[in-house]
Amino acid sequence: MTVIQDTATRTYGPYARLAPIPRDLEGVTAEWLGGLLANRYPGLCIETMETVDLHNSHTTNLRVAVTYNDAGKAAGLPEHLCLKANWSGQIINNNTDICELEARFYYEAGSMPPLPAARCYYADWDGDGSGQGVVVLEDLADAGGRFGHSTDLLGIEGVARALEDLAKLHGAWWGDERLGQLAWLPRSMDTPVDTDQIALMRPYVDANLKSGIYNDVLPPWIVEDHSRLDRVYAKLNKWAREQPGPFCLVHGDSHMGNTYIYPDGHRIWFDWQLCRVGHGMRDVNYFMIASLTIEERRAADRQLLDHYRQALIATGARDVPDRDVMWDHFRRWPVYGIQAWLQVEEWWGQNGRPPTERFSAAIIDYDSAGLLGA
């Protein structure tokens, strides 16, 4: 007997929508966006919508200007919004779930301690295995501050201040048992988007390695044997999984290009698509090495780690690893950064050469591959 599924009863996401999120920009209309927001703000309609800016890479950032009906105005939503989803037409190896994960993060953020993130007006995902999710955020271009860039250099004092912000993020959920109850939040370096990251982004990594454009700065062992990077990265994953807690909420992609600084100096983080339960050193290492010159990092790395550790303790975090353990861990994590930046294509609007050079120098200085036994 043939069983025919009644697809008319299929619903999507936490609001039980009857239709999935559009897969391309053609479906992103004023009518669709108004209907989406009405799930949270009853009666809301969007009367007009204009595109202000569009950036497509493996995900989409769409800034729009909208006008509302009376219900929308009463809800207090701004006229400028930023939408994030995967409308680029690109599928990254079987629909990795980064858009769904970010939507879940913002949806759940209201039940979390205050976090340094953009204000979110709506978050939703399909939950059908596609990995599609959408968030509707404040348009930070209107906030009077400035966006960071992945190649920005902050200097030693600037990095010290930023590490205080990371300590607040990590301290908010430090050792909190509730982290283990968030089934949607992956364990750092123990989920395919982490463990298979090089494989998932293989075309970009191979293109950069085979072109030889970074051969003058990469560790010689990568230039001589591209496949060794896979083996060393696998060792980092294994080592990270074996480390005990305490665990915390990890941003997962903590370079300057994912930060915004308000006029009062307050820093927030966006692009929570790689958020994890894990060890804060992943964030600390990734941020510090990318935001300092090689000479600055060599001169102040241990001093800055001590500063982060004291800032973390000041949040009330308990059982914080001692400074020698932190230093031991810090020296291994540049391997994560080098593989991440070898994925970057210039047309994404990011210059991969400066961070690639900085992470390469750190790997050589710290003998990261040797410490990992690879």
Query: What pLDDT tens digit does each residue of the chain (374 aa) get?
Result: 333 344 557 899 999 999 999 999 999 999 999 999 999 999 999 999 999 999 887 789 999 999 999 999 999 999 999 999 999 876 554 446 889 999 999 998 766 777 889 999 999 999 998 899 999 999 998 889 999 988 889 999 999 999 999 999 999 999 999 888 899 999 999 999 999 999 999 999 999 999 999 999 999 999 999 999 999 999 999 999 999 999 999 999 999 989 999 898 888 999 999 999 999 999 999 999 999 999 999 999 999 999 999 999 999 999 999 999 999 999 999 999 999 999 988 766 567 899 999 999 999 999 999 999 98
CA 201 to chain centroid, in Å, comes to: 16
CB-based contacts of 345, cutoff 8 Å, min separation 6: 204, 207, 352
Q: What fold characterizes domain 146-371?
A: Aminoglycoside 3'-phosphotransferase; Chain: A, domain 2 (3.90.1200)
Q: Which CATH class is domain 9-142?
A: alpha beta
pTM, rounded to two decimals = 0.89
Model confidence over 33-84: pLDDT tens digits?
999 999 999 999 999 999 999 988 778 999 999 999 999 999 999 999 999 9
**pLDDT number for residue 347:** 63
Residue 335 tokens read as: 């391997």
CB-based contacts of 239, cutoff 8 Å, min separation 6: 332, 372
Q: How far apart are CA 114 and CA 117, in angstroms?
A: 9
On the question of a common fold for 9-142 and 146-371, the answer reads: no
The residue extents of the domains of the chain are 9-142, 146-371
The answer to whether the beta carbons of residues 312 and 187 sit under 8 Å apart is no
Q: How far apart are CA 173 and CA 344, in angstroms?
A: 31
